[in-house]
Structures are given as C-alpha cells and as structure tokens.
C-alpha cells in the first residue's frame, strides 16, 4: 500500500506499507488507518517546522533588541554627558527658561535610559543569558532591599514598616534578579502611594515557601485595569498616577524572574484604598549545595 503524504497539494513523501503474506489485500479499514496516520504525521511535521521557525525568529528578535538597546544607550549617554557639561560651563548665565528646558531634556534622557535598562534586563532574563546560581538567604536579601528603599519612603513622609520572620529560607538562584523583584514591588508601593501614606513589607516562611508581600495605602488599581497588569509595557494610569514615571515593564520582569525560580506572584487591589503585591518562592531551611549551572 502506498500512501502519498501531501503538503500544499504537493507530494512531500510516501508512506509505504508492505505485508509479505501471499495474496494479502489491505482492507478499507487498514487503508483508512494508514491515511489518517499520514495526516497525523503531516500535522506533526508542520508543527515541528513552525516551532523551529518561531525559535529562530525569537533568537533574531532578542539579538535585535539587544543590539538596538546597546546602540541607543551610547548616544544617549553622550547627550546626557554633554548637557551636564554645558550646564556646568554656562553656570549662572542661563535664564530661568533655559534652565527649565535643560531640566526637561535631562528628565527625557533619564526616562529613555530607564526604558532601555528595563528592556535589556527583561531580554537578559527571558533569553536565559544569566546562568549564575547563588545560594540566596531570602530573609537577608529582602531585609537589605527594603532598608535600601526606606529613604525613598521617608522623602514622601510615608510610614514604612518591615517585618520579616526570623526563620531562615534559602533558594538557589540568581540573587541580583531576586533583589530586583523585591525591589520592584516595594518601589512600586512607595511610588503609587501618595505623601504620608503607609507601606508595609512582610516576609515569612510557611509550608516550604518564602512568602513576601508589600501592602500600601496608595492609589490602588480599578478592577477593569487589573487583568493586564503583568503584561509588558502596561500602565494602569489611574487618576493621581498619570505623572508618575515608569515603563510598564517592572511587573512583567518580576513575574518572569519569580516563575523562573519556581514560584509565582499575586496581588489584590482596591481603587482609592491600596494594594497588596505578593511573591512566593520554594525554599529550603538549610543552604542547599551549590550545583553546576546547565
């Protein structure tokens, strides 16, 4: 029995089934079965080809993003550097209006720089280009990150409390990325909470997990804008937060990092009342043995 395997009406290959028994004829059921097998093989091969194509495109895309971001960073740093120099040399000669223009240029270049940093970070994480594995003491890391952000909360006259259980919890992973994840959630809580509000950072070990959450009494997020929160570049832009700078990449970065470490993220938020953003990560009570990266 010879079954042609068709792709776009062209014969791509043949399936040949033979039976050495004398005067043996394939019945309709057997022919039907061979045909459907041929169809299945075609679909599987098409999917495998598509997958290979997508993977290749993903790699090209990552490389382009990396190149574009790097190439944009240098001229941007030049703009900023020369502007600083200009301001230094011209000193008092600038009028109030000229100084205002210069401030706007600085703020624009800072925004572009932050955006490029976030894109590069996300790209690095998603393309697995960071292979470093550290033994992370989560309690210690969270404490460090939270305390480093305290001055930012104080600048806004916010009350910041940090309560972390004394149980040790260790995770093998990339410490810098975990620091970034904690930093992003706490930084957001401070950013999206008005002057004199409160930010509460909590960390504890429970059921083999390290549970971190940060609660704030900030602007909160309306229900209809919560679905897309962890998507790249999404910003909820609620009343009161329009002028807060950001790229909309932070939360997607946190989610990606946390999921890569075997955990997950969650949040609850009420418009006008505040939000809680949380992370759980699988942990060991003892520092695990260092392993080779793959």
By CB under 6 A, name the binding residues for ligand ADP: 184, 188-189, 192, 216, 218-221, 229, 234-236, 241, 246-251, 275, 277
Instruction: In angstroms, give the least distance from the CB of 69 to ligand ADP.
Output: 16
Which CB sits closer to ligand ADP, 201 or 249? 249
Q: CA of 17: how far to CAs of 40, 190, 250, in Å?
A: 16, 70, 57
Instruction: In angstroms, give the least distance from the CB of 147 to ligand ADP.
Output: 19
Instruction: In angstroms, give the least distance from the CB of 230 to ligand ADP.
Output: 8
Token pair, residue 291, equals 């392993």
30 vs 228: CA distance, rounded Å = 51
Instruction: In angstroms, give the least distance from the CB of 221 to ligand ADP.
Output: 5
Token pair, residue 235, equals 């910003």
Q: CA of 262: how far to CAs of 112, 229, 285, in Å?
A: 32, 21, 16
Hey, which residues does 8 pair with through a beta bridge? none
Within 10 Å of residue 232's Cβ, how many Cβ atoms?
A: 15
Which CB sits closer to ligand ADP, 36 or 157? 157
Instruction: In angstroms, give the least distance from the CB of 250 to ligand ADP.
Output: 3
Q: Residue 289 has what DSSP assignment?
A: P
Instruction: In angstroms, give the least distance from the CB of 161 to ligand ADP.
Output: 16
Instruction: In angstroms, give the least distance from the CB of 236 to ligand ADP.
Output: 3
Q: SS3 sequence, 5-63?
A: EEECCEEEEEEECCCCCCCCCCCHHHHHHHHHHHHHHHHHHHHHHHHHHHHHHHHHHHH
Which CB sits closer to ligand ADP, 241 or 284? 241
Which CB sits closer to ligand ADP, 42 or 241? 241
239 vs 194: CA distance, rounded Å = 12
Which CB sits closer to ligand ADP, 174 or 275? 275
The answer to whether the CB of 223 falls within 8 A of the CB of 267 is no
Within 10 Å of residue 180's Cβ, how many Cβ atoms?
A: 18
Which CB sits closer to ligand ADP, 173 or 220? 220
Which CB sits closer to ligand ADP, 141 or 252? 252
Which CB sits closer to ligand ADP, 45 or 120? 120
Backbone φ, ψ for residue 65 (5° rounding): -60, -45
Q: How many CA atoms are closer than 13 Å to the CA of 203, on its beta-carbon side?
A: 23
Residue nearest to ligand ADP (CB): 246
Instruction: In angstroms, give the least distance from the CB of 217 to ligand ADP.
Output: 10
């Amino acid at each position: 029995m010879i079954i042609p395997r068709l792709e776009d009406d062209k014969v791509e290959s043949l399936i040949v089934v033979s039976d050495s028994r004398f005067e043996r004829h394939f019945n309709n059921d057997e022919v039907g079965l061979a045909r459907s097998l041929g169809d299945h093989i075609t679909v599987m091969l098409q999917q495998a080809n598509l997958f290979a194509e997508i993977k290749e495109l993903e790699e090209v895309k990552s490389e382009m993003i990396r190149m574009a971001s790097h190439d944009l960073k240098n001229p941007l740093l030049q703009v900023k550097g020369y502007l600083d120099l200009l301001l230094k040399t011209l000193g008092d000669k600038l009028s109030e209006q000229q100084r205002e223009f210069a401030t706007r240029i600085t703020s624009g270049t800072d925004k572009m720089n932050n955006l490029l940093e976030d894109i590069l970070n996300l790209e690095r994480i998603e393309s697995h280009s960071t292979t470093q594995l550290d033994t992370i003491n989560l309690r210690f890391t969270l404490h460090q990150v939270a305390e480093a952000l305290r001055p930012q909360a104080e600048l806004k006259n916010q009350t910041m409390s940090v309560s972390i259980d004394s149980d040790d919890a260790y995770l093998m992973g990339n410490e810098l990325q975990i620091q970034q994840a904690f930093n992003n959630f706490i930084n957001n809580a401070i950013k999206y909470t008005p002057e004199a509000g409160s930010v509460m950072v909590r960390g504890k070990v429970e059921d083999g997990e390290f549970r971190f959450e940060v609660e704030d009494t900030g602007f909160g997020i309306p229900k209809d804008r919560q679905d897309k929160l962890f998507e790249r570049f999404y910003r909820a832009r609620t009343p009161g937060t329009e002028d807060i700078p950001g790229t909309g990449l932070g939360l997607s970065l946190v989610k990606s990092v946390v999921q890569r470490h075997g955990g997950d993220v969650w949040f609850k938020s009420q418009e006008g009342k505040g939000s809680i953003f949380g992370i759980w990560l699988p942990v060991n009570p003892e520092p695990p043995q260092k392993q080779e990266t793959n």
